[in-house]
Structure 1
Amino acid sequence: MNFEVVLTCAVTGAGDTTGRSKHVPVTPEEIARDAVEAARAGASVVHLHVRDPQTGKGSRDPALFRETVDRVRQSGVDVVINLTAGMGGDWTPAKDDWAMPGPGTDMIGPDERLAHVRDCLPEICSLDCGTLNFGNDDTIYISTPPILRRMAALVREWGVKPELEVFDLGHIRFAKAMLAEGLLADPPMFQLCLGIPWGADQTVETMAAMKAQLPPGASWAGFGISRMQMPMAAAAVALGGNVRVGLEDNLFLGRGVLATNAQLVEQAREIIERMGARVLSPQEARNRLHLRGADA
């Protein structure tokens, strides 16, 4: 059981959700507003993607990240900023030539994947620790060992803590290899990502099995998607971990009731407190996770 919980809000993601809920923020102003509202509702950390303001689709434009981060930092509300570094690994083969990239492919190298992180220098950025069949179409998310080693080395040089997003047991195995190679500062920080097709399933048993493979002393959080967001939040606390909720992973507060990010944070915070635990403040989270800006 974890009695002092770091609560993350994943504010918008990059998925095709804007047409399914009016509450999914799109512009830098909207994303920053939701991040601040989530912090006011009790989030310790905000995990941020950005979207193209014209199309609503996920973007990796450093200018959009810079505007969003600046707005959050200038709000006067303290919150730990965690930027995605997962964009730029999508590969969809062309139907007329499977050896060539088709529509939807967005494949770049490690340095370019981190351009916005270098520019904004958040406390945390995500690091997706492996390749994955992503959904039921031909899309593959590609994150190879050389790409990951280069990204890990860069963020360590910049003083940014990598959140090691793991979607299966093999991803944990590779993250442990990077730790042994000295590419990750000790203690490492993991995010157990459950329910994404076709990664690990979102069950208590799966979460416990993945937790059992983490290196000693690692901090970790777990999340589920859609209707399993809150059950997996409770499971993570019970198993000794931290929690992530937010519109990136789930659009609903209850059956048929669309949620806002702040409402999801409030619901998760209530669950955590009813379990006898408490949510850490942003500064307490920095100290617990050994982030830049932690108290000496």
Structure 2
Amino acid sequence: MNFDVIVTCAVTGASDTTKRNPHVPVNPKEIADAAIAAAKAGAAVAHLHVRDPETGAASRDPKLFKEVVDRVRDANTDVVINLTAGLGGDWVPDAENPAMPGPGTDMLSADDRLIHIEQCRPEICSLDCGTLNFGDGDNIYISTPPTLRRMAEKVREWGVKPEMEVFELGHIRFARQMVDEGLIALPAMFQVCLGIPWGADHTVDTLKVMKDHLPHDAIWAGFGVSRMQMPIAAAAVAMGGNVRVGLEDNLMLDRGVPATNAQLVQRVVEIIERMGGRAVTPQEARDKLGLRGAKVAA
């Protein structure tokens, strides 16, 4: 059981969800405001993507990231900023010539995937630790070992902590290899991602198996998508982990009731408290994770 829980709120994501919930934030002000509201509701960490303000589609425009980060930092909140570094790995084979990229492909080098991280210098950025089929179409997310090693080297150079997102056991195996190679500053930070088609399923049994394959001294969190968001959060706390909630992973507060990010944070904080724990502050999260803003013991 974890009695001091780091709550992360993933406020918008990259999926086509804006038409399914009117509260999904789109422009930089909306995204920043959602992160600030989540922090006031009890989130210690805000995990941030950006979207094209005109279309709502996922974007990797560094200017949009910079605006969101500046807005959050200028607000009266101490929330830890965690920026996605997962864009730039989408491969869609061309229908006529599968050896060539088709419409929807967005492949970047390791360095180009990190341009906004270098410019914004968040305390945390995500690192998707392997390749995965996404959905029933031809969309493949590609993240190769050389790419991941290069990204890990760069973010360590900048003092940014990688949150290693793992979607199946092979991802954990390679993430542990990077830890063994000294590419990841300790304590290693993992996010167990469950229910993404076609990664590991969002069940308590799967969470237990994946948790048991993490390094024994890792700091980890888990999330499940859709209606399994809160059950997986409760299971993660019971197993000694931390939690992630937010509109990136789940759009509903209750059946037929669109959620806000703050409402999802409030609900998971209530669950944690009913289990006898508490949600830690941003500074406490920094100290536990060994972030660059952590307090140094006298």
Distance in structure 2 (CA, Å) of the matches to 1:287 and 1:78 = 13
For 1:53 and 1:44, how far apart are their aligned partners in 2? 26
Secondary structure at 2:100 match in 1: strand
Q: Structure 2 CA distance, aligned partners of 1:189 and 1:59? A: 25
2-side partners of 1:108 and 1:115: how far apart?
Answer: 11
Cα deviation, residue 286, structure 1: 0.3
**Structure 1 segment 134-173 matched on structure 2, within 5 A:** 134-173=134-173
Show CA shifts across 1:248-282 (max 9, x none).
00000000000000000000000000000000000
Please report how far the alpha carbon of residue 76 of structure 1 lies from its aligned counterpart in structure 2 after TM superposition.
Answer: 1.8
Equivalent residue letter for 2:179: L
Q: Secondary structure at the match of 2:220?
A: strand
Q: How many residues align?
A: 296
Q: Cα distance, 1:106 vs. partner?
A: 0.4
Q: 2 CA distance for matches of 1:214 and 1:21?
A: 34
The equivalences for 1:30-179 within 5 A come to 30-179=30-179
User: Which residue pairs with 1:243 in the alignment?
Assistant: 243
1:2 aligned partner? 2
Q: Partner of 2:127: helix, strand, or coil?
A: strand
Work out the CA distance in 1 between the residues paired with 2:124 and 2:186: 14
Partner of 1:205: 205
Q: CA RMSD in A?
A: 0.5
CA deviation vs aligned residue, 1:101-157 (integer Å, no higher than 9, x gap): 111100000001000000000000000000000111000000000000000000000
Q: State the distance in 2 between where 1:184 and 1:265 align.
A: 29
Over 4 Å off, 4+ runs: none
One-letter amino acid of the structure 1 residue matched with residue 140 of structure 2: I
| Paired amino acid for 1:244 | R
| TM-score normalised to structure 1 length | 0.99
Partners of 2:37 and 2:187 in 1: how far apart?
30
Structure 1, residues 55-100: CA drift from partner, whole Å, max 9, x if none? 1000000000000000000012110000000000000011011111
SS at match of 1:215: coil
Secondary structure, counterpart of 2:149 in structure 1: helix
* Amino acid in the other structure paired with 1:76: N
Cα distance between partner residues in 1 of 2:176 and 2:258? 38
Cα drift, residue 185 of structure 1: 0.8
**Residue 276 (structure 1) aligns with:** 276
Taking the aligned partners of 2:181 and 2:8, their CA distance within structure 1 comes to 28
Letter of the aligned partner of 2:76 in structure 1? G
1:194 equivalent to 2:194? Answer: yes
Task: List gaps (5 residues or longer) in structure 2.
Answer: none
Q: Deviations over 1:225-255 (max 9, x none)?
A: 0000000000000000000000000000000
* Equivalent residue, structure 2, for 1:27: 27
Percentage of matched positions with identical amino acids:
71
Question: AA paired with 2:18?
Answer: T
Whole-Å Cα distance in 1 between the matches of residues 180 and 40 of structure 2? Answer: 38
Shift of 1:216: 2.0
Output the CA distance in 2 between the equivalents of 1:232 and 1:145.
Answer: 29
- Counterpart of 1:93 in 2: which secondary structure? coil
